[in-house]
Structure 1
Amino acid sequence: MPDLQLLCLSNPLLDIQAVGNEELLQKYGLKANAAILAEEQHMGLYDDLIQNYHAEVIAGGGSNIARGAQYMLPPNSVFFIGCISNDKYGRLLKKSCEKAGVRTEFRIDENVPTGRCGVVITGHNRSLCTSLAAANEYKVEHLKDPDVWKLVQDTKIYYVEGYHLTVCVPAVLALAEEAVTTDKVFIFNFSAPFIPQVYGSPLAIVLEYADYIIGNETEAMAWAESQSQSTKSIAEIARLLIRLPKKNKKRYRIVIITQGEAPTISAVAKSGGEIEITEHPVRKVPSDLIKDTNGAGDAWAGGFCAGLVQGKTLYECIDMGHWLAQLGIQELGAAYPYPRRTFQPSKD
């Protein structure tokens, strides 16, 4: 088995997606194109989708990035940590990760069910109903378990989602400190606009450790607003992120902000305080081939991380992200085509 290359700390969720109808939406009080956190009235949705709507189940949440990176790497290169339950949903999630070649080391919490995201597809609309459940129960003690920590020490690159700031900040900081101490790469993804809006204090601490800060334009602007910055310029926001304090002085910080169909922006700190801003065109996909854009950001992050693992240039890493996102949006859910495709560099 090859050495572990990439560790992903994030929230494991089982995506349960099916084509539904207006009757199903009304039954659970869902809107056709919305994303909500599940309440008691929604808990029957997940079994309903499986039993009555021929649902597809696939490891979701943070596993989207892990599976995406693994798609472009040798088997067992990626190591995924989070919390699930010892239930049928947890077993399905673990099996889905293993099928994709991702190694998992999950904390098991018997008191709550595995986190799930029900996806009801009606036409081009997606209604997402998420129950975080066990995903919220990760503990730093699991990370520091000698067997797990040995795997952490053996892994070359650490990737953390912003969502985990809502779960276990001590675990995030343990990885961040290890990255600085051993001069390993630490990647942080904003994940959602509410992370800088609501979790600004722990975010500010964690960003000091980040060698790579990634996110989309909405998340970047949410961070800028949380810092009382009025600029709407993505390039300027990237510069502001570059200038944040940094723990590991051996590595210059790099910021990458995706913008959907618009060019991806990268900002690279240089010696002498110079900051290099570059626009990277995305790969175009004909509209009639696009099935689902919900997982595009996760696919991009997975491809980008795979490039870092392989020691590619920044341009190549971003292009690998664009390539995987291009494939992903032609599938339903955060899925990738099989038989496995081989990366083809952009001609731009």
Structure 2
Amino acid sequence: MATEGILLGMGNPLLDISAVVDEEFLNRYDVKFNDAILADEKHIGMYDEMATKYNVVYTAGGATQNSIRVAQWMLQIPGSTTFIGCIGKDKFGEEMKRNCKLAGVNGYYYEDESTPTGTCAVCIVGGERSHVANLSAANCYKSEHLKRPEIWALEGQVSPDSFLLVAEHAAASNKVFMTNLSATYLCEFFRDAQDKVLPYVDFVFGNETEARMFSKVHGWETEKNVEEIALKISRWPKASGARKRITVITQGADPVIVAEDGKVKLFPVISLPKENLVDTNGAGDAFVGGFLSQLVLEKPIEDCIRAGCYGANVIIQRFGCTFPEKPHFS
């Protein structure tokens, strides 16, 4: 049985600002269909425009925070999940804390005095989402926060240097350590940080686009073969031989790829009529959350995949990474 605080998530908390927009809006801000990019100067105005001109929904987002929220919802065990990250001292930060609390997740945020809370414009066109992330305070986590006794007791952080400290601690204390490739821009611009921590990772999650970018930046020349990329990641040297590494790659409506022990298995996802698709935002995060909800219950991989597919299927039929009061999964 899962216990209090059994699952800890560490990542970039971003307040999702979600709205249904049109292609003209995407074109005006030079955002490609189904994009996932970091904001630059040309994107700054889009956040205010969405907030003032569109019917927006605010949710506590960021890949890891989404996964932790979904895992908490799937588990339905009070206090079983915790999230750590950095926000600003502003109205968006207060909204983030409120959302996290409503989801039943224990939130321990470091609050930066001078930087605004990170946001992510989630632009929905035809049910498909495009992400433009403005990391802001999410990028300002300080190791001083990690070193506070009450926070180190949670073994959490988000900055690259403290990330490695926790990874090393997990390996030394035989705790399961997982990471999500999360976005193509992280694979591209944070390669060194990912490479340093990967030897300590027991489970690697990602989607096919992120896997291809990971392959590209490492010069593997295997971008067309996602199964081979998953195998290569699973074979990356490990710092501890206590457990093998398992790579899990989602592919939208195509089967989930699981690479372990030098072999690849494919698992079908739950089919959904196109007319039932509302919003793909958070689908991959929800898959990870569902997967983790069964992993902490020590269920086999097959059950973890099934729970992940269930979580993703629920989320894509709703607006934003939101979910009903209770899951219907057994």
Common fold by TM > 0.5: yes
Q: Shift of residue 52 of structure 1?
A: 4.8
Is the aligned partner of 1:140 residue 2:143? yes
Is the aligned partner of 1:151 residue 2:150? no
Aligned to 1:320: 307
Taking the aligned partners of 2:240 and 2:234, their CA distance within structure 1 comes to 13
2:236 is aligned with what amino acid? L
Aligned to 2:221: 230
The percent of aligned pairs where both chains have the same amino acid is 41
Structure-2 change in CA distance of 1:182 and 1:285 (3 Å)? same
1:213 is aligned with what amino acid? V
Taking the aligned partners of 1:310 and 1:229, their CA distance within structure 2 comes to 36
Q: Shift of residue 23 of structure 1?
A: 8.1
Q: Shift of residue 122 of structure 1?
A: 5.0
Aligned to 2:208: 217
Is the aligned partner of 1:329 residue 2:322? no
2:263 is aligned with what amino acid? E
1:238 is aligned with what amino acid? A
Aligned to 2:96: 93
Q: Shift of residue 258 of structure 1?
A: 1.4
Note the residue ranges of structure 1 that are not aligned, 5 or more in a row.
153-157, 270-274
Q: Shift of residue 194 of structure 1?
A: 3.4
Q: Shift of residue 220 of structure 1?
A: 2.0
Taking the aligned partners of 1:225 and 1:283, their CA distance within structure 2 comes to 30
Higher mean alpha-carbon deviation, 243-252 vs 77-86, is at: 243-252
Aligned to 1:53: 54
Taking the aligned partners of 2:37 and 2:189, their CA distance within structure 1 comes to 17
Structure-2 change in CA distance of 1:138 and 1:180 (3 Å)? same
1:66 counterpart (65, 68, 93)? 68
Q: Shift of residue 282 of structure 1?
A: 0.8
Q: Normalized against structure 2, the TM-score is what?
A: 0.89
Is the aligned partner of 1:173 residue 2:159? no
Taking the aligned partners of 1:181 and 1:85, their CA distance within structure 2 comes to 33
Q: Normalized against structure 1, the TM-score is what?
A: 0.85
Taking the aligned partners of 1:200 and 1:190, their CA distance within structure 2 comes to 10
Note the residue ranges of structure 2 that are not aligned, 5 or more in a row.
none
Q: Map 1:1-348 to 2 at 5 A.
A: 2-20=3-21, 29=29, 31=31, 33=33, 34-39=35-40, 42-43=43-44, 45-61=46-62, 62-73=64-75, 74-121=77-124, 123-124=126-127, 126=129, 128-152=131-155, 168-231=159-222, 232-269=224-261, 275-336=262-323, 338-344=324-330
Q: Shift of residue 86 of structure 1?
A: 1.4
Larger-Rg structure: 1
Higher mean alpha-carbon deviation, 123-132 vs 233-242, is at: 123-132
Taking the aligned partners of 1:241 and 1:36, their CA distance within structure 2 comes to 23
Structure-2 change in CA distance of 1:315 and 1:66 (3 Å)? same
Taking the aligned partners of 1:224 and 1:247, their CA distance within structure 2 comes to 21
Taking the aligned partners of 2:20 and 2:266, their CA distance within structure 1 comes to 37
2:201 is aligned with what amino acid? A
Higher relative contact order (CA closer than 8 Å, sequence separation 6+): 2
Q: 1:32·1:126 contact (CA, 8 Å) conserved in 2?
A: no
Q: Shift of residue 41 of structure 1?
A: 6.1
Structure-2 change in CA distance of 1:198 and 1:30 (3 Å)? closer
Classify the secondary structure of the residue corresponding to 2:154: helix
Classify the secondary structure of the residue corresponding to 2:177: strand
Higher mean alpha-carbon deviation, 238-247 vs 228-237, is at: 228-237
Higher mean alpha-carbon deviation, 134-143 vs 96-105, is at: 134-143
Higher mean alpha-carbon deviation, 105-114 vs 291-300, is at: 291-300
Q: Shift of residue 227 of structure 1?
A: 3.1
Higher mean alpha-carbon deviation, 106-115 vs 229-238, is at: 229-238
Q: Shift of residue 51 of structure 1?
A: 4.7
Structure-2 change in CA distance of 1:129 and 1:233 (3 Å)? closer
Higher mean alpha-carbon deviation, 72-81 vs 41-50, is at: 41-50
Higher mean alpha-carbon deviation, 29-38 vs 79-88, is at: 29-38
Aligned to 1:155: none
Structure-2 change in CA distance of 1:180 and 1:55 (3 Å)? same
Aligned to 1:272: none
